[in-house]
């Protein structure tokens, strides 16, 4: 899967949020806000193919976290992306 190319991280009122570039009639009641780890993952994976293993690999390389925990967190993060329609599969 890949992050959708038309989705970018922008700072709005001090928060990192995902916005669709060039989108008309944007539904502002459905905003995805990113915590620092999610924002970092987004930056690392922009333009790249990834799966839960790749996300877990990034997490274990950057943070002191066990592989099993990283895989569980990766699965949750990917599910959030899917639910928000932010990935192409």
Q: What is the CATH number of the domain that holds 29?
A: 1.10.10
Q: Total structural domains in the chain?
A: 1
CB 17, CB 34: distance < 8 Å: yes
Instruction: Indicate yes or no: pTM above 0.95.
Output: no
What's residue 19's pLDDT? 87
What's residue 21's pLDDT? 79
Pairing verdict, β 15-20 and 87-88: unpaired
CB 42, CB 3: distance < 8 Å: yes
Q: What is the pLDDT along the chain (89 residues), one digit of tens a residue?
A: 999 999 999 999 999 999 887 655 555 556 789 999 999 999 999 999 999 999 999 999 999 999 999 999 999 999 999 999 999 99
What's residue 30's pLDDT? 64
Per-residue burial over 43-75, b = 16 or more CB atoms within 10 Å of its CB, e = otherwise: eebeeeebebebbbbbbbeeeeeeeeebbebbe
Range of the domain at 6: 2-88
Q: How many whole angstroms separate alpha carbon 63 and alpha carbon 54? A: 14
């Amino acid at each position: 899967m890949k992050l959708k190319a038309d989705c970018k991280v922008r700072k709005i009122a001090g928060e990192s949020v995902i916005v669709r570039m060039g989108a008309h009639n944007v539904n502002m009641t459905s905003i995805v806000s990113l915590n620092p780890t999610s924002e970092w993952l987004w930056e690392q994976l922009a333009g790249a193919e990834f799966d839960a293993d790749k996300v877990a690999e990034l997490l274990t390389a950057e943070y002191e976290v066990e592989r099993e925990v990283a895989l569980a967190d990766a699965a949750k993060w990917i599910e959030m992306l899917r639910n928000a329609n932010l990935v192409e599969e």
